[in-house]
Chains A and B, each alone.
Chain A
Amino acid sequence: MALLPSLPAQSSAVLTVAPPPKIAARRGAAVEARLAVQLQEGYHVNSNTPSEDYLIPLRLSWETKPFDVVEVAYPEPKLEKYKFSPQPLSVFTGDFEILTRLKAPEGAPRGPGILLGKLRYQACTHNLCLPPKTVEVRLPYEIR
């Protein structure tokens, strides 16, 4: 099968998502997709489990078809202290990876495709915050 054209990095301001490598899935079997995220130095994003109710969590969501999303596994967050918060905050910084476990149902159509996902995040530095943003993620796949 011909290779899909390489995809540009998917980015939004201070956060960049590397184009995820193509996954090959067998019908009825689970498969993992790794999403490499790079955050500009000096910034942090709230983890998927923020320390405070008012903070907006990082969240990766996927279209449901043709795969079943078994699990989205986030990295272990860091607890960091910032001058605007009396308590350490649960954050991600630098480069990190989000793992998604997918399963192609028995009846899933064979062939290639692109699974669409959305990564929502909200970034801050030690003294300012940027509005929440959403990066569209395109995961190439082939179901055999």
Chain B
Amino acid sequence: MALLFSRGMALQALAVSLMLSACSSGSGTAASSVKPAEQRRAAPNFTLRDSEGKLARLSDYKGKVVLLNFWATWCGPCKIEIPWFVEFERRHKDRGFAVLGISMDDGWEEVRPFLSEIGINYRVLMGDDMVGELYGGVDALPTTFLIDREGKIASVHIGLVSKRRYESDVEELLEPAAGSAGRRAGSGAAAVLTGAK
């Protein structure tokens, strides 16, 4: 498992940490929890290995809406969400959408059988405490970040929330007019995924 840090990541982690308190949600209503573009912060870049040993960087997904899900095999609530994410990946992958799972298990030994059992159709990476810290100290699972096409964190969900809420958030971010494209003009920010080596 590899995790490559670059300059500025500590500051990014701090920013994410501060943002967590402002935009995390745990309720189950279907209202979108996507933040306005001007309030979004850059998602810290990372490099981790997937189940085939290949390196994956968040920056590889630049231009896509990314659902970044921290989970573990011992986490019951995580297992409720994963089939939803499988469905989202299937339904939206052709619209510039990708799910990335970050397992917080101790190693692939526990995770690989689970991937086969559930039939996960998206990329799963092996995480560690460092990537958790990078995202504001991910401790409770599941924790899920929705990242817009500009590589900015649009919403954070800590704990099990409703499928409808995810659908609402994803649709808003994928929708060109009302989503990130529309908000992009207001933000004045160039597409960024800073910290990439």
Q: Tell me the A residues contacting B by CB distance below 8 Å.
A: 52, 54-56, 82-85, 89, 122, 124-125, 127-132
Contact = CB atoms under 8 A, between A and B. Distances in A.
Nearest to B104: A131
B74 A125 contact: no
Given A55-B76, A124-B76, A84 B160 contact: yes
The binding surface of chain A is classed by DSSP as: loop
Nearest to B161: A127
14 contacts: A54-B74, A82-B76, A84-B76, A84-B77, A84-B80, A89-B76, A125-B159, A127-B161, A128-B141, A128-B142, A129-B77, A130-B141, A131-B104, A131-B141
A124 B78 CA distance: 11
A55 B74 contact: yes
Nearest to B158: A128
A83 B139 CA distance: 21
Interface string B62-84: 00000000001111111110000
A132 B78 CA distance: 15
A129 B26 contact: no
Contacts of A125: 159
Contacts of B140: 128-130
Contacts of A82: 76
Contact of B26 (A56, A84, A89, A127): A127
A128 B138 CA distance: 12
Interface in B159-181: 159-161
B72 A131 contact: yes
Contacts of A127: 26, 77, 159-161
Contacts of A89: 76
A84 B79 contact: yes
Residue among A82, A83, A122, A127 facing the most chain B CB atoms (10 A cut-off): A127
Contact of A124 (B77, B104, B139): B77
